[in-house]
Amino acid sequence: MTSSPLIIDGKVVSAALLERVQREAEALRAAHGINPGLAVVLVGDDPASASYVRSKGKMCERLGFLSRTERREATISQEELLDLVRELNEDPAIHGILVQSPLPRHIDAHAVVEAIDYRKDVDGFHPNNVGRLTIGMSALEPCTPAGVLEMLVHYGIETSGRRTVIVGRSNIVGKPLAVMMMQRRPGGDAIVTVAHSAARDLGAITREAEILVAAIGRPRFITAEMVREGAVVIDVGINRIDDPNSPKGSRVVGDVDYEDVFSKVSAITPVPGGVGLMTIAMLMQNTVKAARSAANGGE
């Protein structure tokens, strides 16, 4: 590329989205007297999870949402955790429920997700929401994939008919993003390939991509030789690596070798400052959507 690529800035997109979410929340309060409420369940004392939960609480406070954090010891039984979820399902002041991952090994995470009322499942992981999303019905969508589409739409990046390769097949990002990008919708209508570790020649697949999404959890894995000239690159990865030159002794990088691919692409998301900022913003949007649905009597 002869010119510098477009930097797809998560700060810009998340700020615009949060302004819209705040207006929607204010309209909901004015019309129905309903304030969006989010409950986050934190099991154990994992520092990263605790930090993330605090961030969610601060965002709720900023937007004027009702925020509740339910902390439980890592020794909680599965039935006790399910009972807590059921209580939150029945609480009319709570419109969104999120059980923070990871959970202790003795807890069946799938059972916990299935116990959440799908209408309050703001993570978008409940089988009902996954199924609705897959067949094109209205659903609470997984936050990170929805954030990727929000970024593409905000910057006017054409996706219709474009070859898109998603590297990674997780239930959190890869699979739902593939479904969303192949549907007829803003940020969608793409020709989607999902690639993963079983690929015999991954580089041959990724070089076909006009839009390349990296979501594999391997630091700086995608290099320039794997990227098509002029591609749009979306880096979902958040990996902490050792860095003796950093005050903290480490730094955060993506799944893409940013410096290596920079001169070859037409647009790219930075890490940090890219997709990661969208996840909490989309969570807030899902909470407002769930509250609006409750105000309208359900679906």
Task: Give pLDDT tens digits for 273-289.
Answer: 999 999 999 999 999 99
Is 123 a known active-site residue?
yes
Whether residue 291 lies inside any domain: the answer is no
Please tell me the distance from the alpha carbon of residue 216 to that of residue 166, in angstroms, as a whole number: 9
Whether residue 18 lies inside any domain: the answer is no
**Any idea what the CATH number is for the domain that residue 193 is in?**
3.40.50.720
- Overall average pLDDT of the 5-10 stretch: 98
- Do 103 and 169 share a domain, yes or no? no
Find the catalytic residue in 100, 175, 183, 255: 100
- Do 183 and 114 share a domain, yes or no? no
- Do 160 and 256 share a domain, yes or no? yes
Find the catalytic residue in 22, 45, 46, 56: 56
Please report the pLDDT score of residue 102 as a whole number.
93
- Do 167 and 261 share a domain, yes or no? yes
- Do 106 and 150 share a domain, yes or no? no
Please report the pLDDT score of residue 63 as a whole number.
97
Which residues fall within 8 angstroms of residue 227, CB to CB, at 6 or more apart?
206, 207, 209, 212, 233, 261, 264, 265
Whether residue 199 lies inside any domain: the answer is yes
* pLDDT tens-digit map of 26-75: 999 999 999 999 999 999 998 889 998 999 999 999 999 999 999 999 99
Which residues fall within 8 angstroms of residue 119, CB to CB, at 6 or more apart?
140, 290, 293, 294, 298, 299
- Do 67 and 164 share a domain, yes or no? no
Instruction: Flag whether pLDDT at 1 surpasses 70.
Output: no
Instruction: Flag whether pLDDT at 299 surpasses 70.
Output: no
Containing structural domain, residue 114:
33-118
- Do 105 and 50 share a domain, yes or no? yes
Please report the pLDDT score of residue 213 as a whole number.
98
Amino acid sitting at position 113: V
Whether residue 296 lies inside any domain: the answer is no
Whether residue 81 lies inside any domain: the answer is yes
- Do 170 and 250 share a domain, yes or no? yes
Mean pLDDT of the chain: 96
HEC string of 113-173 equals HHHCCHHHECCCCCHHHHHHHHCCCCCCCCHHHHHHHHHHHHCCCCCCCCEEEEECCCCCC
- Do 272 and 189 share a domain, yes or no? yes
* pLDDT tens-digit map of 167-197: 999 999 999 999 999 999 999 999 999 999 8
Q: In what side-by-side order are the strands of the sheet with 96-99?
A: 66-72, 37-43, 96-99
- Do 145 and 272 share a domain, yes or no? yes
- Overall average pLDDT of the 111-135 stretch: 98
Of 127, 105, 214, 224, nearest to 166 by C-alpha is: 214
Whether residue 169 lies inside any domain: the answer is yes
- Do 113 and 146 share a domain, yes or no? no
- Do 163 and 227 share a domain, yes or no? yes
Q: Residue 15 is encoded by which pair of tokens?
A: 């700020």
For the question of whether the overall pTM of this predicted structure is more than 0.85, the answer is yes
Whether residue 24 lies inside any domain: the answer is no
Find the catalytic residue in 121, 123, 235, 257: 123
Q: Compute how many other C-beta atoms are within 10 angstroms of the C-beta atom of residue 111.
A: 12
Please report the pLDDT score of residue 3 as a whole number.
79
- Overall average pLDDT of the 22-28 stretch: 97
Whether residue 50 lies inside any domain: the answer is yes
| Number of independent structural domains in the chain | 2
The rounded Cα 113 to chain-centroid distance in angstroms is: 16
**Any idea what the CATH number is for the domain that residue 80 is in?**
3.40.50.10860
